[in-house]
Structure 1
Amino acid sequence: MLETGQTFLTGYAPARALDEGFLAGRPEAGLGWLAVAGLGVVLGAYGTARVYAAVAALVEPLRDRLVARVVARGVREADGGALSGLTQQVEIARDTFAGLVMVSRSFLFTAVGALVGLFSLDPLLLLVVGPPLLAGVALFAATLRPLARRQEAFLVADEALADDLGAVCPGLRDITASGAEARVAADTGRRIDAEFRTARSLARWNVLRVASLAVGGQLPIVLLLVAAPWLLAHGVTTGALVGALAYVTQSLLPALRNLVHGLGTSGSRLVVVLRRLVREPAGTSDTPPCARSGPEPTPEAPALSLTSVTFAYGPAAAPVIDDLDLTLPTGAHLAVVGPSGIGKSTLTALLAGLLQPRDGTIRVCGLPVAEAAARRVLIPQEAYVFTGPLAENLGHLRPDPVPEAELLTAAEAVGLTPLLEALGGPSAPVDPAALSSGERQLIALTRAYLSPAPVALLDEATCHLDPVAEERAERAFAARPGGTLVVVAHRISSARRADRVLVMDGRRTAYGTHDELVRGCAPYRDLVGGWTPVPSARSQPALALRDADRVDAVAGPGLAGDGRHVVAHGPVGQVQAPGDLRDRGPLGGQG
């Protein structure tokens, strides 16, 4: 009541001071009315001070309830965001709610005092000021809900971009090592575009907010000035006209401005924060857990499924992979073989989601490949190792530190134990420049072995290992419980160890076991070349066998060898030096 009285006296006292005092030749009466207006300011300030105490009694219980809820959820769910909720979000909710209460009640009591004062001075003044004021408030009320939705969308887009950049910036080395720069840039660009669109939409609705302020707070001033001759002609006194201008400029316009800006910005922020703070804890909602935590794989789904997949490097380029269908069950072991440049690494990049097919679909564990980042791990030929403790390198793909016992078991399975002991144990520092290519590959392989991803993609990830170490690593991955292994083979022994072999030869592909392909696939027979056993004394290899699978790296009968790993490509006179089924160099000169 004191604040409403102060607003009432803001226009009424100056009007009486003019009409009954200064304009009537009675300055003492005018000064008296001005003294009454001053007293009203003092009483209004006292009332405002009392309001702060009342608002505190309203706001603090809300804060206490929010804190209790955040703490309970943090303890129950081990919620990592509880600290942010306590230190920032609860305080934002508390301060914003208090501000909204103050702004809303201030506008309400100010408007009541001003409208009563206008009616007391002259009802005609109320007819001039009232309609635009109501129109401005109605326009703002109509835009409040759409404005809040767009404000929330902008805040969510901004948080999504911040989360994305928070993940991308520390992982720039990983992104570069895996060749994912283009995809990460595209994903980040989409988030930036999304925030730009929400900001532009918010700006458009803010125009309506400004319009409501102009209609409700500034248009009455113009109407009073334009209608002044008519009002004076119909009995409105000069003091009453000045009092009406005081009501609009000193009371209604500031109160409306605070309301528009307060509810338009702080209100939507409060909605976002409260939704985060009071969300249902896990297990209390009717929504199934899988719907809250993201897509889950179908238990019966194959590990990998490719349907009519076609990929080309450019719209006019010939397809590297053309209409490929492939289904790989969980626990399978697939070797991908073929000449260099035929598309083996392209296939693994598609399976890893680093490239997008032009046509067809790829699913990993029943999920679209774009949603299955946690279901597959790719180990490229050039292994990435960063400076730091060995344990951090090995546990890089795990959300929590790996127990040392589990780490040592994985190292033993993959074959990293000798290097681990030579370095000084899991806590020993790693200098990537001091490691050989094979040692870096062993670290990367063990890191992938420890990852939670059930599908492992080895893109020539063992090319710098000797045959025994390669066999040990591949068998470790193939033996992982529920694990599925895809190997881009650079030695024929990898293909012999696999359950199934995919032969890539341009647009033609063949799929089957090693024995089936030897019998029925000419390109695969060309790749196998001199390693196919033939029951004849002349078929014995030129040098001693050293491969664990009884498959040596030298060519067959009639072909000289140098004791290193070479692979016959087709014509008997063309073989390949160690490392891959690639360059078709002449055999001459080998010895």
Structure 2
Amino acid sequence: MNRPVNGPVGDAASHPVNTAVNDPAGDAVSHPVNTPVGDLVDDPAIRPVRRALRRDPYQLVRLGAWSVAEAAPALVVGLAVARAVDEGFAAGRPVTGFAWLALLGGAWLLAAAGARQVVLAVAAIVEPFREDLLGHVVDGALRRSTASGRGPGAAAVARANLQVELARDAFAAVVTVVRSFVFTVASVVLGLAALVPDVLALVLPPFAAGLGLFLLSLRALARRQRDFILADERTAEALTGMVGGLRDIAACRAEERVAADVGLRVAEQARAARVLARVTALRTVSLAVGGWLPALLVLAGTPWLLGRGAGPGVVLGALAYVTQSLAPALGDLVEGLGINGVRLKVALDRLLRDGAPPARAPGRSPARDGSAELRGVTFAYGPHAEPVIDRLDLSVPDGDHIAVVGPSGIGKSTLAALLSGVLRPDAGLVLVGGVPADRLDPADRVLIPQEAYVFRGTLLANLTYLAHAPREAVDGAVAAVGLTRLVARVGGYDAEIVPGLLSPAERQLVALARAYLAPARLVILDEATCHLDPAAEARAERAFAERGGTLLVVAHRLTSALRARRVLVMDGTSVRIGTHEEMLAASPLYADLAGRWNPSSTQELVP
């Protein structure tokens, strides 16, 4: 049993506490659904959409170029019909008429080729959007799991597999329909202006009115759609609970009460569906005003158009523009945004809200500092196993730097796990910052094991997983731990990294930089530098020593002990702590290790 030992308190920088342990972390906040249309662009739930659209400008240019090709029929349909009638068939020149119709056919062939490329361009924009959402949901689930000590559960799996796919499909539909609407309307306006500019006065005002009416209804539509989805989920939950507890319900004779509860959920869902149906009916009104009223006005204004020099073919061409291009485009927009746009908004609201980690895990407490203390701690792997740690007393002041030394299997990693709260002692008490380690807020300590965790994603996302760090802080962490060469090799912070393509040493450096940026006051490196060469290991350990806070290093080489303020020697029969010189005199095991150590070698501390 070791006596409590107090050491000097080192200087420690103050860090804000807002992250978890060295595992994946998400970043999201709760967002309301009932956002006015005018504020839609500032809605935080739309930020993933903006990021997806801005990610690769080349894909947007490509999408726009092929959209021009796809919109070719909308541009020439009215002109081709008008010229084919007035200059061709009506003038007794059928060859001219067929030539104009052939031009229209060629436009459709061009549109077919453009449509294929549009699908590919949309996919190039949408798939990274899906990956971002999926990563966010997994990050949030892992952080909640880390904070609560429980697995992510079926709800997180369902969000990852269902809601993310729903959002992806809805986003693809929205991009497709909005793009088509914009290019079609522009083509129709240009075509009408070239054909007979006067007709724009008949077409544009009702079209703008119908479009405005639809956009104004989106807020109510989104709110009602969300209410219906929530009601549907409550109904499904009630039915699932009822089916799973049928035997208990019958045994307790609670059939009527349970039926009433389930019936209430069903009635709520029915009411939500009726309200949603009424709001949805506004889409039909919008389409009638903006899509078909312009056609009626063109027909009613035919005498006026003929009086201004327009021929019959021009009137037919104007009707072709309205009925074959403008009205279908508005109908697609109303249908696409009214269903898929609202579905995307609701899905993003739920994904971002549900994927957000709690501000502070329930039942967890913040540490007052980075100190650690063990009081009579005993731990064994099983009720009949010999204790790995037996009645250990240890005091580590805030700001201390300790190297843990001992043979393999002696309990060094067990001590690290106890201090981080991963393991609970069989007896005794483990405190970190005055808080029991198993109830400590995960943001207050970082444990890096021997096998460093790196996930597939951008290098910046890996580095800032535990902290909302500005680029200057990231640059500083990268330089401090020696990650600069890897950043250059992969192509910068925004480059996507594949863990399997990184060496074990590179993965350790990424994890070290991530921990360096974390706000935790206690950092535990459990052979976290074992794959680094001695120079790189020394650089990383010096960085953490200068970073501030408390540092505990499970030493892989004796040089780690020489750099530490104190050395904790575990030899199976006793645990001793002191300076390097004190341990040379007090611990035969440590003296033997130091006596066999060759400064020019990479000898490991495994006697």
TM-score, normalised by the number of residues in structure 2: 0.46
Q: Comparing both chains, which one has the higher relative contact order based on Cα–Cα distances under 8 Å and sequence gaps of 6 or more? A: 2
